[in-house]
A and B are shown apart, each in its own frame.
Chain A
Amino acid sequence: MTIIADEPVPEPQPGFLALALRNRSFVVGALLTLFIAGMALLSFFWTPYDVTRLVVADRMLPLSSAHWFGTDQFGRDVLSMIMIGARASIAVALVAVVIGLGVGVPLGCWAAARGGIVDEVLMRFNDVVFAFPALLMAILITAIFGPSATNAVIAIGIFNIPVFARVARAGALAIWPREFILAARAAGKGKARITAEHILPNIANLLLVQGTIQFALGVLAEAGLSYVGLGVQPPMPSWGRMLFDAQPRMMVAPTLALFPGLAIVITVLGLNLLGDGVSDAIDPKLRRQR
Chain B
Amino acid sequence: MTAYITKRLLIALVTILVASVIVFSMLEIVPGDPARVMLGMNATPEALQALRDQMGLDQPLLVRYFDWIGQLLVFDFGKSYTYNIPVRDLIAERVVVSLPLAIMALALSTLIAIPVGIFSAERRGRMADTLSMGAAQIGVAVPNFWFALLLVYVFAVWLRLVPAGGFPGWGAGAWPALKALILPAIALALPQAAILSRVTRSAMLDVLGEDYIRTARAKGMPRNVVLWHHALRNALIPVLTILGLQFAFLLAGTIIIENVFYLPGLGRLVFQAITQRDLIVVEGVVMLLVAVVVLVNLLVDLSYAVVDPRLRTSR
Which residues of A come within 8 Å of B, CB atoms? 124-125, 127-128, 130-136, 139-144, 216, 220, 223-224, 227-229, 243, 246-247, 250-251, 254, 257, 260-261, 264-269, 272-273, 289-290
Contact = CB atoms under 8 A, between A and B. Distances in A.
A286 to B, nearest CB: 10
24 contacts: A127-B297, A131-B15, A133-B249, A134-B252, A140-B286, A143-B273, A143-B274, A144-B26, A216-B141, A223-B145, A224-B143, A229-B271, A243-B149, A246-B149, A250-B157, A257-B149, A261-B143, A264-B143, A265-B141, A265-B143, A268-B141, A269-B137, A269-B141, A289-B205
Interface in B62-77: none
B29 A140 contact: no
Interface residues of B, number: 52
A142 B274 contact: yes
A131 B202 contact: no
Contacts of A128: 15, 18-19, 22
A138 to B, nearest CB: 9
Q: Which 10 pairs show the lowest CB-CB distances between chains A and B?
A: A261-B146, A268-B141, A133-B252, A269-B141, A135-B252, A143-B282, A128-B18, A265-B141, A131-B293, A143-B274
B290 A290 contact: no
Interface string B259-287: 11000000000110110010100100010
B18 A250 contact: no
A261 B150 contact: yes
Of A124, A134, A136, A220, most B-chain CB atoms within 10 Å: A136
Interface string B202-232: 1001100100000000000000000000000
A229 B260 CA distance: 12
A132 B286 CA distance: 9
Given A131-B293, A265-B138, 4 more contacts: A144-B26, A144-B30, A261-B146, A265-B143
Contacts of A273: 137
Contact of A136 (B259, B277, B289): B289
A133 B248 contact: yes
A289 B138 contact: no
A247 B149 contact: yes
B26 A140 contact: yes
Name B's interface SS: helix
A14 B148 CA distance: 45
Contact of B286 (A125, A134, A136): A136
Nearest to A145: B30
Interface in B1-44: 11, 14-16, 18-19, 22-23, 26-27, 29-30
Contacts of B290: 131-132, 136
Contact of B256 (A127, A135, A290): A135
Contact of A265 (B142, B157, B255): B142
B204 to A, nearest CB: 11
Given A227-B256, A243-B146, A272-B140, A133 B286 contact: no
Nearest to B156: A250
B152 interface: yes
A125 B18 CA distance: 8
Contacts of A127: 11, 15, 297
Of A124, A228, A289, most B-chain CB atoms within 10 Å: A228
A135 B138 CA distance: 22
B205 A140 contact: no
B251 interface: yes
B294 interface: yes
A124 B146 contact: no
B153 interface: yes
A250 B149 contact: yes
Contacts of B277: 143
Given A228-B271, A261-B143, A289 B29 contact: no
A181 B218 CA distance: 45
Contact of A243 (B19, B145, B270, B294): B145
Interface in B188-208: 202, 205-206
B141 A139 contact: no
Contacts of B144: 224
Contact of B145 (A130, A227, A250, A267): A227
